[in-house]
Chains A and B, each alone.
Chain A
Amino acid sequence: MPCVGDWLNNPLSIVQGIFAQNVPNSDWEKKVTEYFKEKLKENNATNWVPSLNDVPVHYLKPNSLVKFRCMVQDMFDPEFYMGVYETVDPNTNARVLHFGKYRDVAECGPQQEIDLNSSQTVTLERQTLYCVPVPGESAWVKEISFLTELARVSPSTSYTPSRHKRSYEEDEDMDLHPSKQKEQHMGNSYCSGGDIHGCVEPKRLETEASAGHHLISPNCSPPLDLNFPLPGEKGPACLVKVYESWESFKVNDVLEVFGVLSVDPVLSIVNSEERDSSTLDPMECMDTAEEQRVHSPPASLVPRIHVILAQKLQHINPLLPACLNEEESKTCEFVSNFMSELSPVRAELLGFLTHALLGDSLAAEYLILHLISTVYARRDVLPLGKFTVNLSGCPRHSVFTEHLYRLIQQLVPASHLLQMTIESMNHSRFIPHKDYTANRLVSGLLQLASNTSLVIDETQLEQGQLDTAGVHNVTALGNLITWQKVDYDFNYHRMEFPCNINVLITSEGRSLLPSDCQVHLQPQIIPPNMEEYMSSLLTAVLPSVLNKFRIYLSLLRLLDYSISDEVTKAVEEDFVEMRKNDPESVTADDLHKMLLVARFLSLSAGQTTLSRERWLRAKQLEALRKARLQQQKCVNGNEL
């Protein structure tokens, strides 16, 4: 293998090379992206690139190639930068051309000056995206994606990634072993490892020192809010500078970017100096101090990535090939392989969830449907394919929901548990809003990436008074469920952002939030110790099986679906028949529901068209569910 070091450790030198070769014409930019695209295509090269999600910033070499999987949280204004500039040596009058792309700072030698008025200068435009790690990303996603590629960055013992070790340590160990072996194999090819390390060390000290300096400096006294949508999130936020086709990126998109890491301490120095001088003359100070803080935070806290390649992700499940649309034989093979063993996986998953739902297989069935639901289209304002399930009849004041959530967390790539209490409704920030002083979009709990599972625990809700914020929050939740959109608050107006979030509500009675389908839980077993019972469930599942579950849920969500004319006819007949018999209880809404159930039922069995049997099964499920609700109503009625 040729020395990886160059394009990985010092991509800018490669860019410089390409730039120098092609300087008069502007297609050097294209060549750069092509070069890196090629490089990354090589055998698993993407795995070699250290990820910011995994490795702390100060362990990474500045100006090296890194990758980052993130969600676009906010977009800043486009900025104009010097695409090409010229430096002059005042002594010798020698002029040199430089490129400004992929850089924050226009570099020049100690004896040189930048000629701002050179006719060679080219001004270009780039866009800055403020990105955060995917909110609510499950721990297993991280573990699996970085297992194979870890630790290479700093081969010394000084750094061991601190990852949460969950209850299934055995399987992690098991998975770790092969990777360790792999690592040894690669040890040889990793010839440059040593000298990387050599230069990492002092740099690291430097950045750390500058970071320390920043913490002390009075400008930074209040800690910087990194603006994560969910409370308690960790990980680096990043300013991602995009150079092309930034119109295609939207807020809340999940991206994987490959780019040049820039943590130049000069950035921070420039900032603070600017701040100093701004006190001197207010004219220069276009932005407020808050805005400065937000838009140019210290690089040690919020590193910059200059994107060379960026890719929107359909999903973040590391067990699946990144892009399923591609007509690659590899993907097809993967899909067909998995499809062949689909039904045992489904059966196992059903069993697993049945246990989790205290022996209620109907609820488990609906839970599967819910977990593979996704908004696949929008018909004017109506989102199609959302399937919010309200699991009523959950034991009150128990840890049931929490444990259920933990199980779901193990199955889906991103999730969040929302404890609905008067307190949390009144005091938390659900809707993102624009802060005009700092000129940024302050995130809220509902700023989530597509296909995030949001579990709302309504069993904790007590009687009480909701204040204005609380009412807004509840309304926002309602809108989210009904329309799959969140109205971001821009103070003078609201902006609608469509979203695609799977909402599961657990409640005692019928939830106060709207839902597509209410399933009343009928526990078959009441375990004496809920906690033990639930955690034993998870340990009982083999990690390989667990991985299959994960693939199952993520894959089926991405499948296409259709209904043949024949079945359409049958459905029509059925509906008319049902209406005839009981016009009161069968409405268009019910048909909607049944079609949804039929859709997901077919998909959950790996079928991409609706068959008559599935339709009947869907009807049957719905009938069972309704009967249960009816029954529950009667019980309650009697009690009253």
Chain B
Amino acid sequence: MSSPASTPSRRRGKRGRGSNPPTPQDARSPPSQKRRTDDSTSTGDLQPMPTSPPADVQSPGAADALFSSPPQFRHSAIPLDFDISSPLTYGTPSSRVEGTPRSGVRGTPVRQRPDLGSVRKARQVDLHSDGLTEDIVATEQSLGQKLVIWGTDVNVASCKEKFQRFLQRFIDPLDKEDEDIGLDLNEPRYMQRLQEINMVGEPFLNVNCDHLRSFDENLYRQLICYPQEVIPTFDMAANEIFFDRYPDSILEHQIQVRPYNALKTRNMRNLNPEDIDQLITISGMVIRSSQLIPEMQEAFFRCQVCAFTTRVEIDRGRIAEPSVCKNCNTMHSMALIHNRSMFSDKQMIKLQESPEDMPAGQTPHTVVLFAHNDLVDKVQPGDRVNVTGIYRAVPIRVNPRVSSVKSVYKTHIDVIHYRKTDSKRLHAVDEETEQKRFTEERVEILKELSRKADIYERLALALAPSIYEHEDIKKGILLQLFGGSRKDFTHTGRGNFRAEINILLCGDPGTSKSQLLQYVYNLVPRGQYTSGRGSSAVGLTACVMKDPETRQLVLQTGALVLSDNGICCIDEFDKMNESTRSVLHEVMEQQTLSIAKAGIICQLNARTSILAAANPIESQWNPKKTTIENIQLPHTLLSRFDLIFLMLDPRDEAYDRRLARHLVSLYYQSEEKMEEEYMDMAVLRDYIAYARSYVNPRLGEEASQALIEAYVDMRKIGSGRGMVSAYPRQLESLIRLAEAHAKVRFSEKVETTDVEEAKRLHREALKQSATDPRTGIVDISILTTGMSATARKRKEELAQALRKLIQSKGKAPSLKYQQLLDDLRAQSDTAVTKEMFEEALRALADEDFLTVTGKTVRLL
């Protein structure tokens, strides 16, 4: 900064300006040399507003030439014209931070805010208007405090004052955000934030616009409409408060206020010309980010003849190289010195509409974002973000050689604040955006629905109406959609309890299992649908990829991670290969996914419910076999399913008749009529979403008793026959089901009725899937050990018979294998297969009674 002549004064001026509202002008005002000198002098003259120079920067003439806010936009929206006005910003005494002698403010450098100002702005200084400006300024002064920024209704002083009041007073004990860890909700929230800034040293103050709105509606409106003027004022206010409190604090640069969650949150599709130059919040997915672009803010030139130096600020994205040295008048002697030029970071990001916002049958829209300075590289492709920023439109540059201009504007958003929605999900289940969706009327409708006595049946009926009957299965799936309550036992060392309910459907092909899965997948917002045949373990979990642009390793998440907080539908579960299926073990109980590959070791959340469908191994369900035998899935996996349903084709005349009527109606009813008959899919979706985010039932005393009884009963059934028929896992399942049922009723407390239904459903599912085909008794051990208790008993008996047989043969040291089998068969009253025989031999070998070598059996 040690450049001679006018530069020092200018630097000072700059700092001054920066410390006060670093309005866009900061970044771009390229005041001519002449004016600069003017500045310094005028600083002397006009006491109350020392840096009048900016004032003439803002001369109306200059404003006229402005590009980035073509007046036509102003036309469409409420007229806003900051640039013209900003001089007044400086003109108002109270707005000048420089005027307030605070060492802290002075000592901390200002960081330009390219996010607010567009560097592309044309700044033409109209010398003719100089005098005029003075006049204006004069009149302004006489008007005193009633000044507003030109083109807006913003009065800097009152705006600042209001915002300071907001910072100092705003308390909302009810509104809890996930970032609020360690905040005392009964104290002014933003004062605590400032304290945090003092401790941490990150000079950014995020302000929730929603808070601001509830505090001061008018201020909020101003912020939305004139962000370019209001935010610098906020900056100023925040800095004043901050350095007042912590005068010794050392920050990298002055605090910048970053508003977020502008209630004008919109879908990308709703952006229209009226939003230009307003503060908006949109959500979307990052699809591409450019590399860092160093953007020159100020070029430094030195004359190669006399070493005279000068600085040139960027003007409409271009640097005007001085052709003549001011000092020695040599032509073309100025050379750019890169090292002394000033650059700022910039990044171009493409944001695509999130899939949920897209209307069916259309392709997603994209919008360009520009991130500046600290916000560069904050997001990566694939991230879902809520972006708050200022919407801009820039005409495609006039081509000097062609008189006609492309009549199209380019639009982009200057980012002020990012909020990653994905990373948030890692902390807690906070579906903020989803909660917002419900209007009060909607909630009322949903609550009205929930009070109906038959809501459970009604919802179950609304689920996949095209699939006929199978009511219990639909009820099961309904409960799965609602899920249990989340419980956290981390402090006692057990971690999270699974709240998700997993369901397996098995049965004959052609019983519309896939259709059910498809329906569920279409119903839930975060559903994934995969087929066991086509998916690999990598596709389900995550894979590490090298980003072609950055050469950086990136974790690409698979179906299970993507359906976090949703439902992962897996069709043809049985066709999945062993290694793929093994991934599910962790997901289905721990609800996490551990990944260790290519140097990335991490644990991802996969709190997903699994709805799987499997076909029997023999293509037709064999009622003489157990579930395990029919679908050939490892029992370790099966026991992780809360409910296992058989979907079989019932043989019943009345059923057939109803089915026929149902199907025929499908084939001629018009679409509208069908819609009427059932509950709308949208209502169902909202109902579930509402229950999932707002209802969190807890077990009541009675319900706990009922559960205990139910569990004890289940254990008792088995103990009578010397086996265990229920495990803690079953109890957990029952609890989850009961909670889900309470959620269906929007009830905060689990009642005995919920437990009853959970028990009924659980029993129903068990009856179907865990019945021992040989004895007809419900036997949970089929699912937990893969073998029914009777089968195990029979195995033991056979081994004993074999032992007796061998012992009866006397002292022969070795026996022929085949003969032994024949003898055993002759002796036994049931058919003995070769496998059974071998199993018995193995059991005896384990007891060190004999060894089998090839075709001979030796006694030990």
Question: Contact residues of A with B, CB < 8 Å?
Answer: 74-75, 77-82, 85, 100, 103-110, 112-114, 116-125, 247, 249-253, 266-267, 269-270, 273-274, 277, 281-284, 286, 377-382, 384, 434, 436-437, 439, 441, 471-472, 475, 482-483, 490-493, 495-498, 561-563, 568, 571-572, 574-576, 579-580, 583, 587-589, 591-592, 595-596, 599, 610
Collect the chain B residues with CB atoms within 8 Å of residue A437's CB.
Answer: 288
Give the chain A neighbours of B409 by CB distance below 8 A: 79-82, 123
Residue of B nearest to A73 (CB): B363
- Also in contact, A121 and B404, with CB within 8 A (given A79-B409, A80-B409, A441-B363): no
Residues of B close to A576: CB separation below 8 A: 653, 656-657, 660
Beyond A286-B410, A381-B466, 10 additional pairs, beta carbon < 8 A: A75-B362, A105-B406, A105-B407, A106-B404, A124-B273, A283-B317, A436-B381, A471-B534, A588-B663, A595-B663
Which of B60-68, B475-483, B751-759, B835-843 lies at the interface? B60-68
Tally chain B residues at the interface, Cβ within 8 Å.
89
Find out whether the CB atom of A563 lies under 8 angstroms from the CB atom of B466: no
Residue among B402, B408, B667 making CB contact with A563, cutoff 8 Å = B667
Closest to A608 in B: B668
- 9 residue pairs of the A-B complex, CB under 8 angstroms, read A75-B363, A112-B403, A119-B75, A250-B362, A274-B397, A381-B466, A498-B360, A575-B659, A599-B667
B549 shortest CB reach to chain A, Å: 9
- CB contacts (< 8 Å) of A120 on chain B: these are 72
Provide the B509-535 mask, 1 if CB < 8 A to any CB of A, else 0.
010001100110010000000010010
From B70, B346, B368, B518, A483 is in contact (CB under 8 Å) with B518
Residues of A within 8 A of B287 (CB): 436, 491-492
| Chain A contacts for B411, CB-based, 8 A | 80
With A75-B363, A568-B664 known to touch, is A113 a contact of B72 (CB < 8 Å)? no
Contacts of B515 in A (CB 8 A): 381-382
Q: How far is the CB of B529 from chain A (nearest CB, A)?
A: 9
Q: A108-B403, A273-B399, A436-B350 are in contact. Are A252 and B361 (CB under 8 A)?
A: yes
B407 touches A269 (CB 8 A): no
Contacts of B348 in A (CB 8 A): 286
For B355, what are the chain A residues with a Cβ–Cβ distance below 8 Å? Answer: 490, 493, 495
Closest 9 CB pairs of A and B: A250-B361, A121-B72, A106-B407, A575-B660, A379-B466, A381-B518, A563-B668, A123-B273, A80-B409
Interface string of B46-64 (1 = CB under 8 A from A): 0000000000000000001
**Does B393 make an interface contact (CB < 8 A)?**
yes
Question: Do A121 and B361 form a contact, CB below 8 Å, given A277-B397, A284-B317?
Answer: no
A379-B466, A492-B287 known; A281+B70 contact, CB < 8 A: no
Closest Cβ neighbor of B79 among chain A residues: A119
CA distance in complex: A85, B71 (Å):
11
CA of A253 to CA of B365, assembled, Å: 18
Known: A107-B404, A384-B667, A589-B510. A568 touches B361 (CB 8 A): no
In whole Å, how far is B636's beta carbon from the nearest beta carbon of chain A?
A: 28
Known contacts A100-B407, A380-B466: does B71 contact A119 (CB below 8 Å)? yes
Instruction: For B408, list chain A residues within 8 Å (CB).
Output: 79-82, 104
Q: List which B359-376 residues lie within 8 A (CB) of chain A.
A: 359-368
Q: How far is the CA of A104 from the CA of B407 in the complex (A)?
A: 6
**B465 at the binding interface (Cβ < 8 Å):** yes
Residue of B72, B409, B671 most packed against chain A (CB within 10 A): B72
Inter-subunit contact A379/B661 (CB<8 Å):
no
Nearest Cβ on chain B to A597's Cβ, whole angstroms: 11
Min CB–CB distance B166 → chain A (angstroms): 34
CB closest residue in chain B, given A122: B72
Q: Are B667 and A117 in contact (CB under 8 A)?
A: no
**Taking the nearest CB of chain A, how far is it from the CB of B283, in angstroms?**
14
In angstroms, how far is the closest chain B Cβ from the Cβ of A274?
Answer: 7
User: Complex formed: what's the CA distance from A493 to B668 in Å?
Assistant: 35
A85 pairs with B407, CB closer than 8 A: yes
B69-93: contact bitstring with A at CB < 8 Å (1 yes, 0 no)? 0111101100000000000000000
The chain A residue sitting closest to B119, CB to CB, is: A283
Residue from B71, B649, B668 whose CB has the most chain A CB atoms within 10 Å: B668
A286 to B668, CA, bound (A): 53
Contact across chains for B72 and A281 when beta carbons are under 8 A apart: no
Nearest CB of A to B371, in Å: 13
Chain A CB within 8 A of B634 CB:
no
Q: Is the interface of A mostly helix, strand, loop or mixed?
A: mixed
Say whether, besides A116-B67, A490-B355, A125 and B273 are in contact (CB < 8 Å): yes
Q: Please tell me if the beta carbons of B660 and A591 are within 8 angstroms of each other in the complex.
A: yes
Bound Cα distance from A496 to B263, whole angstroms: 30
* Interface check B666, CB cutoff 8 A: yes
- Which residues of chain B are near A125, meaning CB under 8 Å? 272-273
Inter-chain contacts of B519 with A (CB < 8 A): 380-381
Tell me the complex Cα distance, A591–B681, Å. Answer: 26
Q: Judge whether B307 is part of the interface by a CB distance below 8 angstroms.
A: no
Q: Which residues of B have CB within 8 Å of A498?
A: 360-361
Q: Is B395 an interface residue (CB 8 A)?
A: yes
A561 to B531, CA, bound (A): 36
Residue of A nearest to B405 (CB): A106
Q: Report the Cα distance A105→B381, complex, angstroms.
A: 34
Contact A74 B660 (CB under 8 A): no
Q: What is the distance, in angstroms, from A596's C-beta to the closest C-beta of chain B? A: 7
Enumerate chain B residues within 8 angstroms of A575, measured Cβ to Cβ: 656-657, 659-660
Q: Does B328 contact A (CB under 8 A)?
A: no
CB 8 Å contact bits of B405-447 with A (1 = contact, 0 = none):
1111111100000000000000000000000000000000000
Whether a CB of chain A sits under 8 angstroms from the CB of B320 is no
- Give the Cβ gap from A501 to chain B, nearest Cβ, in Å: 15
CB distance A117 to B659 under 8 Å?
Answer: no
Contact: A571 with B70, CB < 8 Å?
no
Question: How far does the Cβ of B126 sit from chain A's closest Cβ, in whole Å?
Answer: 13
Contact A382 B660 (CB under 8 A): no
Residues of B within 8 A of A107 (CB): 404
- A residues near B660, Cβ cutoff 8 Å: 571-572, 574-576, 591
Supposing A123-B409, A270-B396 touch, asked if A251 and B534 sit within 8 A by C-beta, the answer is: no
Asked if B295 is at the interface (CB within 8 A of a chain A CB), the reply is yes
Whether A492 contacts B664 by the Cβ 8 Å rule is no
Bound-state CA distance A78–B659 (Å) is 48
Smallest beta-carbon distance B151→chain A, Å: 12
Tell me how far the C-beta of A68 lies from the nearest C-beta in chain B, rounded to whole angstroms.
20
| Bound-state Cα–Cα, A521 to B366, Å | 51
Which A residues touch B466, using CB under 8 A?
A: 379-382
For the complex, is B318 an interface residue (Cβ under 8 Å from A)? yes
> B639-666: contact bitstring with A at CB < 8 Å (1 yes, 0 no)?
0000000000101010011011101111
> Is B674 part of the contact surface with A, judged by Cβ < 8 Å?
yes
| B116 / chain A contacts, CB cutoff of 8 Å | none
Complex alpha-carbon distance, A580 and B409, angstroms: 71
Question: Distance in Å from the Cβ of A302 to the closest Cβ of chain B?
Answer: 16
- Determine the distance from Cα of A439 to Cα of B353 in the docked complex, in whole angstroms: 13
Please tell me if the beta carbons of B393 and A595 are within 8 angstroms of each other in the complex. Answer: no
* B293 is an interface residue with CB less than 8 A from chain A: yes
Quick one: given A379-B666, A490-B355, are A116 and B361 in contact (CB under 8 Å)?
A: no
Picked from A80, A105, A124, A251, the residue with its CB within 8 Å of the CB of B361 is A251
Does B365 lie within 8 Å of A384, measured CB to CB? no
Residue of B nearest to A562 (CB): B668
Contacts of B272 in A (CB 8 A): 125
Chain B contacts for A471, CB-based, 8 A: 534
B613 at interface, CB cutoff 8 A: no
- Hey, which chain A residues are within 8 Å of B120, CB to CB? 283
**Chain B nearest Cβ from A434, distance in angstroms:** 8
Chain A residues, CB < 8 A from B670: 377
- Inter-chain CA distance A481–B67, complex, in Å, is 54
- Expressed in whole angstroms, the minimum distance between the Cβ of B461 and any Cβ of chain A is 13
Cα separation A122 to B660 with both chains bound (whole Å)? 61
Chain A residues contacting B361 (CB-CB under 8 Å) are: 250-253, 497-498
Contact of B817 with A by CB under 8 A: no
Q: Across the interface, name the chain B residue whose C-beta is closest to A485.
A: B518
Q: Determine if A74 and B363 form an interchain contact, defined as CB atoms under 8 angstroms apart.
A: yes
